[in-house]
Amino acid sequence: MSIQTSRFEKQDIVNSFNIFVDTEKANLVGHEQSQGDDSHLHFEGSSIIANDGEMIRVGLQDFTMFNNIYMINATNCRFRLKGTGSSASAYDDVLFLKNQNYGGLKDIADAFADRLSAYLIAKSVANSASTSSFEKTTVLPSTSNMVSTDDRLLKIVLTAKHSGSSVNHNLTNIKIQFQESLGDIYQILGGNRHDDPTDINFQSLNITIAAQTITIEGLYPMQRMSDPYCYLRCSNSGNSLEMSVLQNDHAGTQNSDIVNSDILAKMHRHGEFISFSASSSLEYFINLQQKKLSSLRLFLTDSKGRKLGRLAVHRNNTKTGSGLISSSSATTGAPANFETAGQGYSSNFQSTLGNLFFTCVLRVDIIRVSNPVKLESAKLPTPKPARLAQGVLTWADHGRNNTMPF
């Protein structure tokens, strides 16, 4: 649908309704497929109908939910670590930051350093080194406060140790890659996103390898979360537009920058709550393309069209975005089976039996945009007299062809 077809010059509200929504038990009192963050509302015998010359507008007046999605979650905790050593023992694995909230940047840098240290010990030993530990001799940023005088750049120096003494680690080539398919950790740690999987030598961070030390440096300031907003979407066809990157977490999958949108509203994640309160009736709304409103699907996503705290591959089979990691995944601090259903959480019911749900107030207006009893098409032109009409062949000299010989 083009912008031109969604333009209305006259808008008179002829009726309004408030719809109060609470999705906590949406699968019990309504559609059985409903979840706390993806609810199907059926109006049954209370359908809202617009007459000829009228349209239906749905707007968000109020929204509240608890912010029960971790800052570091399945969408921004993964990175790839690969390399070789002096004995040519190669390694290539996906590692995780622990899924949880972090009080400051120093805490995230420490967690990243711990994950690298624990992993590289085994790889160093596999390359005939005597390494028993990697000591964190430098971890920056040193402050946790976001407003401190600091450049917020990541810097980690790991020193190979054995019995308290520095030793050679025998690791000769280390690459850390923040692949796009693994999520948004590049935003957290301040590195470059790896878009081209065929570029096997890509480095997302600066890495300097000495005989006994490994230095990792970030390129850009760190941040505690990768997505500060939550998007309320409505599957009913409307007239909104959005950039295609808001629909998909993989770049280059759309042929257009701007596409039709199902976004109804955008809310800020702040502290304990995700909330919004409209200051006017036209702050967040969609004009529906249908005359009868008998059902609505309201669902929540992040800024890349993913369910909150979940990867795109789990859109249809995972109901938990944050929670207790199963015992089989506890050693990594993150769900082990990210690429399969369930994500490795102890419970997969956060949005049906747990605390992932929202309440909101929708305002539905029936708006008159035209008068159907009044002809609004262009007036037909007055026909010309027959003698002036074009396209009729006439002959001079009483119909005789004056080009013919007498």
Task: Give the pLDDT band of residue 2 (cuts 50, 70, 90).
Answer: very low
Q: What is the mean pLDDT of residues 205-224?
A: 97
- The structure tokens 């008159």 sit at 368
Nearest to 13 by CA among 373, 374, 372, 363: 363
pLDDT of residue 144: 73
pLDDT in the model for residue 143: 80
**Amino acid in position 337:** N
Beta strands in 67-205 (DSSP E): 78-85, 91-96, 133-140, 155-162, 165-166, 171-179, 193-194
- Residue 317 pLDDT level (bands cut at 50, 70, 90): confident
Task: Out of 45-49, 277-281, 378-382, pick the least confident.
Answer: 378-382
* Three-class secondary structure of residue 163 per DSSP: coil
For 262-272, write each residue's pLDDT tens digit: 999 999 998 89
Model confidence, pTM: 0.84
pLDDT at residue 86 above 90? no
What's the confidence (pLDDT) of residue 336? Answer: 45
What local confidence, expressed as pLDDT, does residue 252 receive? 54
Cα separation values, 12 from 15, 202, 237, 340, 373, Å: 9, 58, 22, 51, 16
DSSP 100: B
Residue 44 pLDDT exceeds 60: yes
DSSP letters for 249-261: SSTT--S-SEEEE
Contacts with 224 (C-beta within 8 Å, 6 or more apart), sequence order: 71, 102, 104, 105, 108, 146, 188
Whether residue 239 is predicted with pLDDT greater than 70 in this model: the reply is yes
How crowded is residue 44: how many other Cβ atoms within 10 Å of its Cβ?
Answer: 9
Per-residue pLDDT band at 64 (split at 50, 70, 90): very high
Q: Where in the chain is the domain with CATH 2.60.120?
A: 4-70+227-368
Spatial contact of 264 and 60, defined as CB atoms under 8 Å apart: yes
The percent helix, strand, coil of the chain (3-state, each to 5) is 15, 35, 55
Higher-scoring residue by pLDDT: 333, 79: 79
Tokens of 75: 């969408």
Pairing of strands 285-287, 54-66: antiparallel
Q: Tens digits of per-residue pLDDT, 107-164? A: 999 999 999 999 999 999 999 999 999 999 999 998 877 777 889 999 999 999 999 9
Count of other CB atoms within 10 angstroms of residue 374: 7
3-state secondary structure of 118: helix
Predicted pLDDT at 236? 84
Cα–Cα dist 131/162, whole Å: 5
Name beta bridge partners: 55: 367
pLDDT on residue 45: 82
Does residue 343 register a pLDDT over 60? Answer: no
- How is residue 240 written in tokens? 């909104």
Q: How many CB atoms lie within 10 A of CB 244?
A: 17
Per-residue confidence (pLDDT) for residue 342, from 0 to 100: 40
pLDDT at 341: 39
And the tokens for 61? Answer: 């007046």
Architecture of the domain made up of 4-70+227-368: Sandwich (2.60)
The DSSP secondary structure of 173-198, one letter per residue, reads EEEEEEEGGG-SHHHHHT--EE--TT
Q: Kindly report which listed range (20-34, 62-76, 177-191, 335-349) carries the lowest average pLDDT score.
A: 335-349
| Long-range contact set of residues 324-332: C-beta below 8 Å, sequence gap at least 24 | 325/99, 332/95, 332/96
CA angle 241, 196, 222 (to 5 degrees): 75
For the segment 89-94, the average pLDDT, to the nearest whole number, is 90
271: Cβ contacts below 8 Å, ≥ 6 apart: 67
Q: Are 267 and 260 in contact (CB under 8 A)?
A: no
> What mean pLDDT, rounded, does the chain reach?
86
CB of 184 closer than 8 Å to CB of 227: yes
CA distance 384 to 391: 12
Closest CA relative to residue 358, chosen from 25, 61, 74: 25
76-95: string of b/e by CB count within 10 Å (b at 16+)?
bbbbbbbbbbeeebebeebb
With a cut of 80, say whether residue 276 has pLDDT above it: yes
pLDDT computed for residue 331 by the predictor = 47
Kindly report which listed range (152-156, 251-255, 321-325, 387-391) carries the lowest average pLDDT score: 251-255
Cα separation, 9 vs 385, whole angstroms:
38
Inform me whether the pLDDT recorded for 278 exceeds 80: yes
pLDDT tens-digit series, residues 357-399:
999 999 999 999 887 776 667 777 887 777 776 665 555 555 5
